[in-house]
Structure 1
Amino acid sequence: MEQNNEILDGVLDEFAKLAAIPRKSGHEQAVSDFLKKYLTEAGFSVVQDEKNNIIADKPASKGFEKAPLTILQGHMDMVCVAEKGYAYDPLKDPIKLVRGEKYLEAEGTSLGADDGIGVAEAMYIMKNAKDHGPLRMIVTVDEEQGMTGAIHLGAEHLQDASFLINCDSENYDELTVGSAGSINLDFSRELTREAAMQANSWKIEVKGLLGGHSGERIGDGRGNAIRTLALALLALQAKGTVELADFQGGKARNAIPDDATAVIVTNLDEQAVNEVLAAEKARFMQNYGAVDPGMEFVLTAADKPAEVLKAGDAQRLLRLLTILHTGVYAMSTVIPGLVETSANLGVVAMDENSVNVQFFPRSAIDGKNDEFALMAQEYAALTGFTAHIGTKSPGWKENKDSKLAKIMTETFKAQNGKDMKVETIHAGLECGWHFLKNPQLDMVSIGVTTIDIHSPKERLLLETVKPQVDLIVETLHKIAKL
């Protein structure tokens, strides 16, 4: 495993196999079946559990049979998003990889390096590593949407292990030793429609926002397209009669929405609407323009819909979208510069009969997520929505005496000539669920450098793949000699 191109090409070859299989969260049957067949044919002992998690075991190298068991862990699902207008069916279409000199990207869609590249590295290492103790590769389902794979993973697959290397972080020179918990909150309401009464029909789009991961990027102060559009509609209501026919926005609860669209019927003419939108853009730029300068409103004429929401229903929706907190809620009092608690207004999905809003708080303090659940019930009561309290994922607290962290930081410095950053992150990792099932498990999380995950701009920095593989392989050598 010495040659740079051999390692990089080998890992990317494994990644290409995953990219060819549609693997949206909640739809992992095909990729799970592939992994079971592929890893079995590679000579490993493979279990595919009832949730489609994959657990593959490789015996220790000769002479290292008494070494502690180490787990390499990642998730097989991905957040599937596409550029506006790009033809893409996440349940049918493969990811089209574009390899440049510096980056690996995808044509028109998210890349799925989160966490396909972590799984690909584990596949490559399981096939090629030498001089190691017993290894286990665990690949879970549905990490992005609900962590149901980690939640239902049998404890027996974790309790006989000493170390776990989670391969789901985003910077090759960072070692994650703790992560935030989260809670899935949804709001739903049945809608009543009535005949449209006003004369002018417009489609209003919010475009050009940066979006991004709602944990890693929430502290940047980026704008939220759903909130931006809701505020613009309220501003229009202050100038005239506005009937709401449709509101759509966002792509995933854990992605900051970069676009949103509404269809309205109003007595306001084009000039009046544009004046309000110009004022709203100026307000946005004052609040967010320093970090999110590309936002724009696009106004186009729309076919007049036969029906619109009853005024009360429209007002209840806009009220909910403006009172839900989105962005940083509190900074850590323990770790300078770390976001402690945040929330993301991620998705609004409307059809003829109902509307659903996805809301996603995170916190390093589990009790604060409980507070958000209580707040959600109160917000629902105030707005006439029904609150749905979903999965609560636990946080993962740092182990100050981690042998694995010590081995990996020392190895990284020896290999790269610089210190590895050790940090707790404001994002969710499956390690919290693993810790609940084996509190003695010594865990860290690492990853190659990926940029703009959960967006069509997602890309992988190619030069970080070999250092990451080298780090894992040498760590396995050192564990084998413990």
Structure 2
Amino acid sequence: MLNYSNTEIIDGVLAEFEKIAEIPRPSGHEKAVSDYLLNTFKEMGCVVRQDEVNNIIADLPATPGYEQTPVIAMQSHMDMVCVADHGVEYDPLTDSIKLIRDDNILTADGTSLGADDGIGIAEIIFIMKNLKEHGLLRAIITVDEERGMTGAINLDKKYLSDVSYMINCDSENYDELTVGSAGSVNVDFNRQLTFTKPQGTRGYKLHIKGLKGGHSGMEIHKGRANAIRSMALVLNALDEAGINYELASFNGGKARNSIPAVAEAIITAVVDKENIAEIIEMEKEKYLDIYGEVDGGISYEIDEVDLPDRVMTAEEQSSIIKLIILLHSGVYSMSQLNPSLVETSANLGMVSMENDDVINIKVLPRSSVDSKVELLALQADILAELTGFTALIDAKTPGWKERRESRLAKTMQEVFQEQNNMPMKVESIHAGLECGWHLVKNPQLDIVSIGVTTHDIHSPAEWLEISTIVPQVKLICETIKRLSKN
């Protein structure tokens, strides 16, 4: 089916990934990469459609003798979470990802890598270019998975109605077969701000950085700190110490589904820098007592800046700090059926000043129990009412319930065992996947999710184990071969 050496497979897949990495593709800005994929699949001889939201649907016709076999789809998303190390100059709208390949490690220079899910696209392109015998193969590459799954939501069900099997390529461990995932809901807390002239005589910028961050589904159970929460606790400590500060701005985090690793606030005060630094040092001791064993690299910094022209009212400032401290960010509960799996969590992902007049706080609750997602949405409404915010509850993402009788899952397990001389792990995950939306549109769809092994996704430390590309490609190719036999 694929007469290539391991080195040729790796080089071929990475060559496709390099082309994708050159194209800026943050969520909501995928037109350029969508156009690239449109042309790439056309050049491969596919029948390609680019829908109104820029999803790509590409059909590779069946080879002779396979015209009557089931339609098999491979699916990935084209957007990525764009984050950079503190101090790295990086514009996700214009800058390419600079790849660094070192032996078995593929990473990026100071930014997230975008292997989630660029490597999935690269594998799909490589397979469709080189597979010799197959039925109709469909590539479905969606937009905006990381921000709101609007690509999957808006995908016309006609592109799924004739599909028998779908292989989603958006998981993070090559030896794991994902057969279920959590549902979620986007929650935005918004508040219109009014401003007044500062009474303070000095301006200060407070920084928190050096945290690990990470994916809010895959790393939420590791107990890592949240930079936004940590900054709110610093500001609260200043208030408790009797330092009469005024808040001019508060920003932190890079994405709703990424544990925030950085935050900053600009304040005014009448006291010296040393007085504030003393309170911050005491707060750092409390922080290390809680997180020192799991996320001890925190750095608190304070810089003198020009006195801001305006500051928030005392009531608004108080409400913002209280809401952030009250918002849960981390694990709520573990699964009753599988105690090693997180059942319910929430991630306080971003706080930003929109147009300087509105503060926006983004939270992502997740659960494998849909009723708990609804409960968290209700709690958000109540918290917003109590703190003078408005809670915008976006469309809920459905969970993906595990199917025990899946020909696709069983076939993949058999193939993986034969090819790697070890069993494939089968599990449901706490992270969200587009599979739930696909099943809404075709409840009979037999679907699994797999992926190469990646680490620290949604963070500047993201890296990929290059050697895991080969077993993934071989697994997909052999599975397609077996499913194509009626």
| Secondary structure, counterpart of 1:215 in structure 2 | coil
SS in 2 for 1:222: coil
1:444 aligns with 2:448: yes
**2:376 matched to 1:372?**
yes
- Is 1:290 aligned to residue 293 of structure 2? yes
In the alignment, the residues of structure 1 paired with residue 282 and residue 13 of structure 2 have an alpha-carbon distance, to the nearest angstrom, of 50
Matched, 1:476 2:477: no
Distance 1:382 1:344 in 2: 20
Distance 2:309 2:126 in 1: 57
Matching of residues 1-20 of structure 1 within 5 Å: 1=2, 2-20=4-22
In 2, Cα distance between equivalents of 1:233 and 1:15: 43
Mapping 1:231-270, distance limit 5 Å: 231-239=233-241, 240-270=243-273
Is this contact kept in 1: 2:208–2:263, CA < 8 A? yes
Quote the offset at 1:281 in angstroms: 1.2
What is the CA–CA distance in structure 1 between the aligned matches of 2:356 and 2:38, rounded to whole Å?
A: 42
Which residue does the alignment assign to 1:317? 320
Rounded to whole Å, the distance in 2 between the matches of 1:208 and 1:82 is: 12
Listed one character per residue, the Cα deviations across residues 148-202 of structure 1 (whole Å, up to 9, x for unaligned) are 1100111111111111000000111111000001100101111111121123332
Structural mapping, 1:184-333, within 5 Å: 184-239=186-241, 240-333=243-336
Is 1:348 aligned with 2:355?
no
Amino acid at match of 1:172: Y
SS in structure 2 of the partner of residue 14 of structure 1: helix
**Shift in Å at residue 114 of structure 1?**
0.5
Structure 2 distance, partners of 1:26, 1:405, is: 32
Counterpart residue number, 1:393: 397
Q: Which residue is equivalent to 2:63? A: 61
Q: Deviations over 1:115-152 (max 9, x none)?
A: 00001100110111122222111000110011011001
Alignment-derived partner of residue 412 in structure 2: 408
Q: Deviation of residue 268 (structure 1)?
A: 3.5
CA contact (8 A) 1:177 1:399 kept: yes
| Rounded Cα–Cα distance in structure 2 between residues aligned with 1:120 and 1:90 | 20
Q: Which of residues 353, 362, 365 is equivalent to 1:361? A: 365
Could you tell me which amino acid in structure 2 is paired with residue 133 of structure 1?
A: G
**Aligned equivalents of 1:92, 1:274: Cα separation in 2:** 37
- The match for 1:337 is 340
1:293-350 CA distance string (max 9 Å, x none): 1112112222221221111110011011111111001111111211101001111101
Shift of 1:86: 1.6
Secondary structure in 2 matching 1:117 = helix
The 2-side partners of 1:306 and 1:163 are apart by: 59
Tell me how far 1:381 sits from its aligned partner: 0.8
The one-letter amino acid of 2:41's match is: L
Identity of aligned residues (%): 55
Q: CA deviation at 1:38?
A: 1.2
CA RMSD after TM alignment: 1.1
Deviations 1:409-455 (A, max 9, x none): 11111111111111100001000000111111111000001111111
8 Å Cα contact 2:113/2:463 also seen in 1: yes
Distance in 2, matches of 1:38 and 1:207, equals 40
Query: Which residue in 2 is equivalent to 1:384?
Result: 388
How far did 1:12 drift?
A: 0.7
CA contact (8 A) 1:133 1:479 kept: no
Give 1:204 shift: 1.2
Q: Which amino acid aligns with 1:381?
A: E
Check the 8 A contact 2:202/2:306 in 1, yes or no.
no
CA shift, 1:280, in A, is 1.3
2:133 alignment partner in structure 1: 131
1:141, 1:150 within 8 Å by CA — same for their partners in 2?
yes
Counterpart residue type for residue 95 of structure 1: I
Quick one: which amino acid aligns to residue 442 of structure 1? Answer: D
In 2, the alpha carbon distance for the partners of 1:213 and 1:183 equals 16
Equivalent position of 2:41 in the other structure? 39
What's the offset of the Cα at 1:459? Answer: 1.0
- Report if the CA contact (8 A) 1:132-1:479 is conserved: no
Partner of 2:118: 116
Aligned to 1:94: 96
CA distance in 1, matches of 2:356, 2:431: 35
- Give the counterpart letter for 1:270 in structure 2: K
Match in the other structure for 1:160: 162
1:39-95 residue CA offsets vs partner (Å, 9 max, x unmatched): 111101111111111111112222222221110000011111112222221111111
8 Å CA contact 1:187, 1:357 repeated in 2: yes
Q: AA paired with 1:321? A: I
What TM-score, normalized by structure 2, do the two folds share? 0.97
Q: State the shift of 1:96 in Å.
A: 1.4
Paired residues, number = 482
Q: Secondary structure at the match of 2:207?
A: strand
Q: Is the 8 A contact 2:152 2:434 kept in 1?
A: yes
Q: Which runs of 5+ in 1 are unaligned?
A: none
1:212-238, CA deviations, whole angstroms, 9 ceiling, x for partnerless residues? 000000010000000001011001101
SS of residue matched to 2:75: strand
The 3-state SS of whatever aligns with 1:159 is: coil
| Separation in 2, partners of 1:174, 1:214 | 19
One-letter amino acid of the structure 2 residue matched with residue 394 of structure 1? P
Answer yes or no: is 1:73 the counterpart of 2:75. Answer: yes
For 1:224 and 1:205, locate their aligned partners in 2 and report how far apart those are by CA, in whole Å: 13
Letter in structure 2 aligned against 1:287: I
* Contact 1:131/1:480, CA 8 A, preserved across alignment: no
1-structure distance, mates of 2:202, 2:358: 24
Structure 1 Cα separation of the partners of residues 356 and 453 of structure 2? 42
CA distance in 1, matches of 2:33, 2:274: 52
Q: Distance in 1 between matches of 2:105 and 2:122?
A: 16
**2:416 & 2:73 partners in 1: Cα distance?**
19
- Partners in 2 of 1:306 and 1:53 — Cα distance? 44
Moved over 6 A (4+): none
The 1-side partners of 2:452 and 2:14 are apart by 12
Structure 2 unaligned runs (5+)?
Answer: none
